[in-house]
Structure 1
Amino acid sequence: MKKKIVTILAAALAMAVVLSGCALTGGDADKKATNEKLSIVCTNFPEYDFARQIAGDKADVTMLLKPGAESHTYEPSPEDIKKIQDCDMFVYVGGDSDEWVEDVLDSVDKSKVTVFRLMDQVKTVEEVTVEGMEPEDEEEPAESGEEEDEPEMDEHVWASPKNAATIVKNMAKTMEKLDGKNKQTYEKNADAYVEKINKLDGEFREVVKNGKRKEIIVADRFPFRYFCEEYGLKYYAAFPGCSTDTQPSAKTVAFLTDKVKEDKIPVVFHIELSNEEMSKLIAEATGAKSRLLNAVHNVSDEDFRNGATYVSLMEHNVEVLKEALN
Structure 2
Amino acid sequence: MVLLLTACGQAPAEHEREERLTVVATVFPAYDFARAAGGELAEVRLLLPPGAESHSYEPTPADILAVQECDLFLYLGGESDAWVETILESVDMQGEALRMVDCVDLLEEETVEGMEDHEGHDHDHAEGPGLGEVVGYDEHVWTSPKNAAAITRAVGDRLAELDPANAGTYAANTEGYATRIEALDREFADFFAGVEDRTMVFGDRFPLRYFAEEFDIDYYAAFPGCSTQTEPSAATIAFLTDKVREEGIPTVWYIEFSNHLVADSIAEAAGVKTALFHTCHNVSTDELEAGATYVSLMEQNLETLRENL
- Are the aligned partners of 1:266 and 1:323 in contact in 2 as well (CA < 8 Å)? no
Q: Secondary structure in 2 aligned to 1:91? A: strand
- Report the CA distance between 1:113 and its aligned residue: 1.5
Match of 1:62 in 2: 45
Question: What one-letter code is carried by the residue in structure 2 that aligns with 1:259?
Answer: K
Q: Secondary structure in 1 aligned to 2:152? A: helix
After superposition, where does 1:230-309 map in structure 2 within 5 Å? 230-309=214-293
Q: Secondary structure in 2 aligned to 1:237? A: strand
- Report the CA distance between 1:125 and its aligned residue: 1.3
Match of 1:72 in 2: 55
Q: Secondary structure in 1 aligned to 2:188? A: helix
Match of 1:129 in 2: 111
After superposition, where does 1:3-152 map in structure 2 within 5 Å? 36-110=19-93, 112-137=94-119, 152=136
Q: Secondary structure in 2 aligned to 1:65? A: coil
- TM-score, normalised to structure 2, is 0.89
- Are the aligned partners of 1:49 and 1:309 in contact in 2 as well (CA < 8 Å)? yes
After superposition, where does 1:187-206 map in structure 2 within 5 Å? 187-206=171-190
Question: What one-letter code is carried by the residue in structure 2 that aligns with 1:117?
Answer: R
The whole-number CA distance in structure 2 between the counterparts of 1:182 and 1:287 is 57
- Are the aligned partners of 1:266 and 1:288 in contact in 2 as well (CA < 8 Å)? yes
Q: Secondary structure in 1 aligned to 2:202? A: strand
Kindly, what percent of the aligned residue pairs are identical? 51
The whole-number CA distance in structure 2 between the counterparts of 1:185 and 1:224 is 32
Runs of 4+ off more than 6 Å: none
Q: Which deviates more from structure 2 when the two are superposed, residues 80-89 or residues 182-191?
A: 182-191
> What are the Cα deviations for residues 76-113 of structure 1, in whole angstroms up to 9, with x where unaligned?
11110000001010000000100011111112335x32
Q: Secondary structure in 2 aligned to 1:115? A: strand
The whole-number CA distance in structure 2 between the counterparts of 1:282 and 1:308 is 30
Q: Could you tell me which of 148, 161, 170 is aligned with 1:186?
A: 170
The whole-number CA distance in structure 2 between the counterparts of 1:297 and 1:182 is 30
The whole-number CA distance in structure 2 between the counterparts of 1:90 and 1:126 is 25
Q: Secondary structure in 2 aligned to 1:175? A: helix
> What are the Cα deviations for residues 227-255 of structure 1, in whole angstroms up to 9, with x where unaligned?
01101111001100000001111111111
Q: Could you tell me which of 158, 161, 164 is aligned with 1:177?
A: 161
Q: Secondary structure in 1 aligned to 2:67? A: helix
- Report the CA distance between 1:59 and its aligned residue: 0.8
* Contiguous gaps of at least 5 residues in structure 2: 1-16, 127-133
The whole-number CA distance in structure 1 between the counterparts of 2:40 and 2:265 is 45
> What are the Cα deviations for residues 47-66 of structure 1, in whole angstroms up to 9, with x where unaligned?
00000011111111001101
The whole-number CA distance in structure 2 between the counterparts of 1:225 and 1:86 is 34
- Report the CA distance between 1:151 and its aligned residue: 5.3
Q: Secondary structure in 1 aligned to 2:23? A: strand
> What are the Cα deviations for residues 151-187 of structure 1, in whole angstroms up to 9, with x where unaligned?
5210000000000000001110000000112211111
Q: Secondary structure in 2 aligned to 1:290? A: strand
Q: Secondary structure in 2 aligned to 1:40? A: strand
Q: How many residues were matched structurally?
A: 285
- Are the aligned partners of 1:156 and 1:224 in contact in 2 as well (CA < 8 Å)? yes
- Are the aligned partners of 1:270 and 1:290 in contact in 2 as well (CA < 8 Å)? yes
Q: Which deviates more from structure 2 when the two are superposed, residues 225-234 or residues 179-188?
A: 179-188
The whole-number CA distance in structure 2 between the counterparts of 1:108 and 1:38 is 20
- Are the aligned partners of 2:27 and 2:75 in contact in 1 as well (CA < 8 Å)? yes
After superposition, where does 1:210-229 map in structure 2 within 5 Å? 210-229=194-213
The whole-number CA distance in structure 2 between the counterparts of 1:247 and 1:101 is 28
The whole-number CA distance in structure 1 between the counterparts of 2:102 and 2:177 is 21
- Are the aligned partners of 1:133 and 1:236 in contact in 2 as well (CA < 8 Å)? yes
Q: Secondary structure in 1 aligned to 2:153? A: helix
The whole-number CA distance in structure 1 between the counterparts of 2:280 and 2:29 is 6
- Are the aligned partners of 1:267 and 1:323 in contact in 2 as well (CA < 8 Å)? no
> What are the Cα deviations for residues 94-143 of structure 1, in whole angstroms up to 9, with x where unaligned?
00100011111112335x3211000000010111110011112276767x
The whole-number CA distance in structure 1 between the counterparts of 2:244 and 2:304 is 16
Question: What one-letter code is carried by the residue in structure 2 that aligns with 1:218?
Answer: F
- Are the aligned partners of 1:216 and 1:324 in contact in 2 as well (CA < 8 Å)? no
The whole-number CA distance in structure 2 between the counterparts of 1:48 and 1:141 is 33
Question: What one-letter code is carried by the residue in structure 1 that aligns with 2:95?
Answer: V
The whole-number CA distance in structure 1 between the counterparts of 2:194 and 2:215 is 12
- Are the aligned partners of 2:30 and 2:74 in contact in 1 as well (CA < 8 Å)? yes
